[in-house]
């Protein structure tokens, strides 16, 4: 068996969590990540028949039964992931028709998967139905997006259009737009279901007065999605209170669509 800490997926997760912390997106235990792993690849590092413990997950995700995830632990600090991955991270397999999580590695202090496991797993189900190559669900608390939910209309079309206009790159990076949930109690199956429903039509879902979820094919892509939306929110907050002299027009957004071969969310452009 090879050393799990040397696995590329492990190195990438550690690097990403550290980077997210350094961006100020994950204060204290804020944020969580889950990555769908390839069973054959994990088998090079772990005995897949050795289950450390099994925990009920409080919901049912039969679509994910047998699937393996690398996931951050509840109450764990992203800033510490790089120093003690085995304590802060776990490899789990969904079992018993997707009602239980079997711990195969990690959470060495007796820890558990993130409290947002319902939103993560349900979002994986939604995104895999749209894109079978989706692997990552990421949640964090970027300040500018969070701040924007206090002062901007939460209508998804309006919210998306504002972000698209803040930087030219936005249309290329998230043409599917940003969905928005009103404030809801976090860490529940209810917010998990609501997030997963929103994930059917966009890879970014803002949780008003809380943070954002992103989904993608790999950690870089998902990080980049959130990074781009957060940058746009930062520009918005810098200009929102100033007299606006120039903007990116809908005609220009259409030109980006045509030139870069992306398709804006239907009905979002004039
Ligand atoms: P966990 O520590 O349970 O992952 O929760 C952090 C968080 O961001 C809750 O929304
Ligand atoms: Zn959170």
Q: What is the pLDDT of residues 95-151, one digit of tens each?
A: 999 999 999 999 999 999 999 999 999 999 999 999 999 999 999 999 999 999 999
Per-residue pLDDT tens over the stretch 19-73:
999 999 999 999 999 999 999 999 999 999 999 999 999 999 999 999 999 999 9
**C-alpha to C-alpha distance for 31 and 210, rounded to whole angstroms:** 10
State the closest ligand 1 atom to the C-alpha of 115, by its place in the atom list counted from 1: 3
What's the gap in Å between 116 CA and the centre of ligand 2?
8
Identify the CA nearest to 241 among candidates 168, 152, 142.
152
Alpha carbon of 140 to ligand 2 centroid (Å)? 6
Question: How much is the pLDDT for 4?
Answer: 98
Which residue has the least CA distance to atom 10 on ligand 1? 186
Q: Which of 102, 116, 156, 230 is catalytic?
A: 116
The b-or-e profile of 150-173 (16+ CB within 10 A means b, else e) is eebeeebeebbbbbbbbbeebbeb
Confidence grade of residue 198 (pLDDT, cut at 50, 70, 90): very high
Q: Is 102 annotated in the active site? A: no
* 0.95 surpassed by pTM: yes
Distance 115 CA to ligand 1 centre (A): 6
Question: What ligand 1 atom has the least distance to the C-alpha of 186?
Answer: 10
Atom of ligand 1 nearest to the CA of 141: 8
Q: Of the residues 139, 181, 191, which should be mutated to test ligand 1's pocket, given the most ligand atoms within 8 Å of the CB?
A: 139
Q: Please state, in angstroms and rounded to a whole number, the distance separating the CA atoms of residues 146 and 78.
A: 19
Is 237 touching ligand 1 by the criterion CB < 6 Å?
no
Span 253-265, pLDDT tens digits = 999 999 999 999 9
Give the closest residue to 104 by CA, choosing from 88, 93, 118.
Answer: 93
């Amino acid at each position: 068996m090879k050393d799990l800490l040397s696995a590329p997926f492990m190195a990438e997760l550690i690097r990403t969590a550290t980077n997210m912390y350094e961006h100020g997106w994950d204060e204290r235990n804020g944020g969580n990540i889950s990555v769908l792993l390839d069973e054959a690849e994990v088998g090079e590092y772990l005995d897949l028949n050795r289950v450390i413990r099994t925990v009920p997950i409080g919901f049912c995700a039969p679509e994910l039964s047998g699937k393996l995830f690398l996931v951050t632990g509840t109450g764990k600090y992203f800033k510490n992931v790089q120093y003690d991955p085995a304590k802060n991270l776990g490899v789990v397999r969904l079992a018993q028709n997707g009602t239980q999580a079997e711990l195969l590695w990690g959470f060495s202090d007796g820890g558990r998967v993130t409290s947002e496991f319902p939103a993560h797993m349900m979002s994986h189900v939604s995104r895999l139905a749209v894109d079978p190559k989706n692997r990552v669900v990421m949640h964090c608390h970027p300040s500018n997006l969070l701040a924007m939910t206090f002062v901007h209309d939460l209508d998804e079309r309006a919210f998306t259009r504002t972000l698209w206009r803040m930087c030219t790159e936005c249309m290329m990076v998230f043409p599917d737009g940003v969905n928005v949930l009103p404030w809801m109690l976090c860490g529940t199956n209810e917010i998990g279901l609501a997030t997963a429903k929103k994930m059917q039509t966009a890879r970014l879902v803002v949780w008003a007065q809380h943070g954002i979820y992103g989904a993608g094919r790999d950690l870089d892509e998902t990080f980049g999605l959130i990074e781009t939306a957060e940058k746009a929110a930062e520009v918005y907050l810098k200009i929102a209170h100033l007299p606006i002299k120039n903007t990116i027009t809908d005609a220009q957004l259409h030109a980006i669509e045509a030139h870069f071969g992306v398709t804006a969310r239907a009905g979002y452009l004039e």
